[in-house]
Chain A
Amino acid sequence: MKKLWQRNKLTKASVKEALDNLPSGIVFFDRNGLVRLCNHTMYHLVHEMTDKDLQSLFELREALQDLPKNTAVIKDKDNYILQDNTVWRFEETPIVDEYGKHYIQCVASNVTDLYNASQRLSQRNKELAEQAEQLKRISDNTSAIAREENNLSMKMKIHDEVGRTALNLRKFIISGCPEDKKSDLMNNLRNTVSLLMGEIGKTNENDVYTELFEEVGNNVGVKVEVTGELPHEALSVRLISSAIRECMTNAIRHADANKLFIEVMESETQYIIVITNNGIVPHGEIIEGGGLSSVRKRIEKSGGEMALQSQPNFALTVKIPKILQEGELLYEECNHCR
């Protein structure tokens, strides 16, 4: 009879025994943070971590937050790696019993398999990311080679043109050139020579600013005067040249200006570029159209700022951070390219 009673009745000892048999660590604290019930696994875990027995919730919290310096346990985000290479994660939950008493339950779960799988996955992802980056580099280099091949092909076309002109010249020298063909022949010769000269000087490509200021600016009658040194990092150049281009367009279209002034200032973290012109002062507040708002979008997306001033004279101020978000800028490029 006593044995039957013992089998069916829950005692403090049987509850403790049941908890001790759990694979997880578990501990209950009362509202003062004192241990009311703790299983073997949890005692063992805390001992491993702190080299002390578990006394209170605050000690446990402190240990989880900052592991003691002499411990062999390693913390990796929310995971605690023990010397035996098992990995544990702790979770704290407030609970209320049937009499309305408040407790804090802390459970330590063995997440070794999950952690190892996640480590393998992140290692694999890292390798894949490296592979992807490598592929991109290979592709960029190979594209450059392919473009060089195209250049070579163009070169051959130029040589064909030169050859044709030389043949014509030879023919006319031997058999004489009719008066009405002389002008054509001379033009052809002039163009061929210019073509050859261009080919010889083909390495002297202009940079972005030079083309914008000299070839385009001079062509449209807007002289550009720069004070300070414009940045030459590819991404900054792209943002700044788009702002200058827009100002040049507006200088022609609205201000009837023939000069664009660019003042470049620099702080430790950013470039500050102020663009003004010598044209007509805007009559009222400038309303940003498609061009300016597209420039603003580009600049702000890269962490920069743009400010527009209408009075007493037009001024566009652009602030470009020195460290740009390269990825965003490169792949913002154009919707068509996606």
Chain B
Amino acid sequence: MKNVIIVDDEKMVRELFTFYLSTASDKYRLIGAISNAANAIVLCVKYSVDLILMDICTSDHESGIEATAEIKRKFPNTKIIIVTSAPDYRFITMAREAGADSFWYKEVSNEELIDVMDRTMAGESIYPDTTPEVKVGFAKSIEFTNKELEVLYYVVKGKSLTEVAVIMGVEYRTTRDHIQHLKDKTGAKTLSELAVLAARAQIVLPEY
């Protein structure tokens, strides 16, 4: 029997995952279903936790990615599956860097969660090849380059284009051009409109 922790800021999602677990109660035992990623480490200290289903955007602005890195450092044998519905372009890379074993998109993954859990526990690392394709204005998210998304990320975070240029080590003109390309692709007329489209599609989530 494998001990499992569910971390998700939405009670409804925790309930749903608890339900999924109950359908495989011969294999998995729920240790705790919590909303704050940082709290998972306390449970890991007390119990021998085999698997954590870890959301990224958890309550109190605690990042599931940061918690994953810490848990993996202290409990390398605990498997962690990052579970998110946000198609932010950075999340897959961030999850890999933090040492997460697998990555599952809540809404769009073809695999069943229990199946991903079984395979992860069997030593497999399951990651999607790419972020889910979402519509951002007239464009599809796959049409954006990573540099364009990086500029957009900082802009949505509240940085001016001059600051973005300094952070990215590029000319101001380059950042302005990236924004113009994004506007052309999405059909957004203003920077505010572009930010709204990006945030709505969750392709950049600056608070995590």
Chain A residues with a Cβ under 8 A of chain B: 125, 128-129, 131-136, 138-143, 145-147, 150-151, 153-155, 157-158, 161, 187-188, 191-192, 194-195, 198-199, 201-202, 204-206, 208, 211-212, 215-216, 219-221, 234, 237-238, 241-242, 245, 248-249, 252-253, 290, 330, 333-337
Q: Which residues of A contact B196 (CB under 8 A)?
A: 138-139, 142
Q: Which residues of B contact A242 (CB under 8 A)?
A: 38
Q: Which residues of B contact A134 (CB under 8 A)?
A: 192
Is A211 a contact of B160 with CB atoms below 8 Å? no
Does B170 sit within 8 A of A, measured CB to CB?
no
Q: List 10 A-B contacts (CB under 8 A).
A: A139-B157, A143-B207, A146-B200, A191-B18, A195-B15, A198-B15, A211-B35, A241-B38, A245-B42, A337-B94
C-alpha gap A125/B159 in the complex (Å): 12
Does B158 sit within 8 A of A, measured CB to CB?
yes
Q: Which residues of A contact B198 (CB under 8 A)?
A: 139
Tell me, rounded to whole Å, the shortest Cβ–Cβ distance linking A231 to chain B. 13
Chain B residues with a Cβ under 8 A of chain A: 10-16, 18-19, 22-23, 25, 31-32, 34-36, 38-39, 41-43, 45-47, 57, 59-61, 63, 65-66, 69, 73, 85-86, 90, 94, 97-98, 106-107, 155-162, 191-192, 195-196, 198-202, 204-208
C-alpha gap A135/B152 in the complex (Å): 11
Question: Main SS of the interface on chain A?
Answer: helix
C-alpha gap A328/B21 in the complex (Å): 39
Contacts A129-B160, A135-B195, A142-B200 given: A238-B61 contact, CB under 8 Å? yes
C-alpha gap A199/B19 in the complex (Å): 12
Is A143 a contact of B199 with CB atoms below 8 Å? yes
Q: Which residues of A contact B15 (CB under 8 A)?
A: 158, 194-195, 198-199, 202
Residue of A nearest to B197 (CB): A142
Is A208 a contact of B16 with CB atoms below 8 Å? no
Residue of A nearest to B57 (CB): A147
Q: Which residues of B contact A221 (CB under 8 A)?
A: 46
Q: Which residues of A contact B61 (CB under 8 A)?
A: 234, 238, 330, 333
Q: What 5 A-B pairs come out closest when comparing CB atoms?
A: A136-B158, A198-B15, A142-B199, A334-B66, A220-B46
C-alpha gap A248/B43 in the complex (Å): 10
With A131-B192, A241-B36 known, 7 other A-B pairs at CB within 8 A are A132-B155, A136-B158, A219-B46, A237-B60, A245-B41, A330-B61, A336-B69
Residue of A nearest to B84 (CB): A150
Is A220 a contact of B42 with CB atoms below 8 Å? yes
Q: Which residues of A contact B207 (CB under 8 A)?
A: 140, 143, 330, 333, 337
Q: Which residues of A contact B159 (CB under 8 A)?
A: 132
Residue of B nearest to A158 (CB): B16
Q: Which residues of A contact B11 (CB under 8 A)?
A: 198, 201-202, 204-205
C-alpha gap A213/B35 in the complex (Å): 13
Q: Which residues of B contact A129 (CB under 8 A)?
A: 160
C-alpha gap A145/B200 in the complex (Å): 7
Q: Which residues of A contact B73 (CB under 8 A)?
A: 290
Q: Which residues of A contact B155 (CB under 8 A)?
A: 132, 135
Tell me, rounded to whole Å, the shortest Cβ–Cβ distance linking B40 to chain A. 9
Residue of A nearest to B202 (CB): A146
Residue of B159, B191, B199 with most chain A CB atoms under a 10 A cut-off: B199
- Choose from A132, A154, A202, A208 the contact partner of B60 (Cβ within 8 Å): A208
Tell me, rounded to whole Å, the shortest Cβ–Cβ distance linking B42 to chain A. 5
Is B59 a contact of A208 with CB atoms below 8 Å? yes
- Choose from A132, A150, A216, A333 the contact partner of B160 (Cβ within 8 Å): A132
Is B200 a contact of A253 with CB atoms below 8 Å? no
Is B156 a contact of A337 with CB atoms below 8 Å? no
Tell me, rounded to whole Å, the shortest Cβ–Cβ distance linking B11 to chain A. 5
Tell me, rounded to whole Å, the shortest Cβ–Cβ distance linking B106 to chain A. 7
- Choose from A155, A188, A245 the contact partner of B38 (Cβ within 8 Å): A245
Tell me, rounded to whole Å, the shortest Cβ–Cβ distance linking B100 to chain A. 11
Is B63 a contact of A334 with CB atoms below 8 Å? yes
Q: Which residues of B contact A204 (CB under 8 A)?
A: 11
C-alpha gap A219/B199 in the complex (Å): 37
Contacts A132-B158, A139-B199, A155-B12 given: A212-B36 contact, CB under 8 Å? yes
C-alpha gap A158/B11 in the complex (Å): 12
Q: Which residues of A contact B38 (CB under 8 A)?
A: 241-242, 245
Is B65 a contact of A136 with CB atoms below 8 Å? no
Residue of A nearest to B164 (CB): A132
Residue of B nearest to A129 (CB): B160
Q: Which residues of A contact B13 (CB under 8 A)?
A: 151, 154
- Choose from A135, A138, A206, A290 the contact partner of B35 (Cβ within 8 Å): A206
C-alpha gap A215/B33 in the complex (Å): 9
Contacts A138-B192, A211-B34, A211-B35 given: A202-B12 contact, CB under 8 Å? yes
- Choose from A202, A206, A241, A333 the contact partner of B63 (Cβ within 8 Å): A333
Contacts A153-B107, A154-B13, A337-B65 given: A219-B191 contact, CB under 8 Å? no
Is B156 a contact of A135 with CB atoms below 8 Å? yes
Q: Which residues of B contact A245 (CB under 8 A)?
A: 38-39, 41-42
